[in-house]
Amino acid sequence: MLQQQPTPCSPASPAAAWQLTNLAADLLNVSRPYVVKLLEESKIPSRTVDKYRRIRFDDLMAYKRKDDEARAKVLDQLTAEAQELGMGY
């Protein structure tokens, strides 16, 4: 019986521990140049292997969680302000 091999992005795959910038961009739903900017600003830890930047999957998910929490907080603030102003939200 054949076993299904893990895909490169599945958590079961050892390769999933380190992601390339294009896969990170897809996961964050942003452009690859934006991911590179985040790496250059040290907002997401990374390392360079040969000429390629690599990002640990756990670090990427930690950044995503933090970013999602910040967005939710801002959205809650905007909603509260809209309700105070009677904008019907």
Q: What's the confidence (pLDDT) of residue 31?
A: 97
Q: How many CB atoms lie within 10 A of CB 47?
A: 11
Task: List the chain domain ranges.
Answer: 16-84
How far apart, in whole angstroms, are the C-alpha atoms of residue 23 and residue 8? 10
- For 79-88, what is each residue's pLDDT tens digit? 999 988 888 7
Is there a contact between 47 and 54 (Cβ–Cβ < 8 Å)?
A: yes
- For 26-73, what is each residue's pLDDT tens digit? 999 999 999 999 999 999 999 999 999 999 999 999 999 999 999 999
Which H or E element spans position 55? strand 52-56
* Domain spanning 16-84, CATH architecture: Orthogonal Bundle (1.10)
Global pTM?
0.72
Burial class (CB in 10 A: 0-12, 13-18, 19+), 24: buried
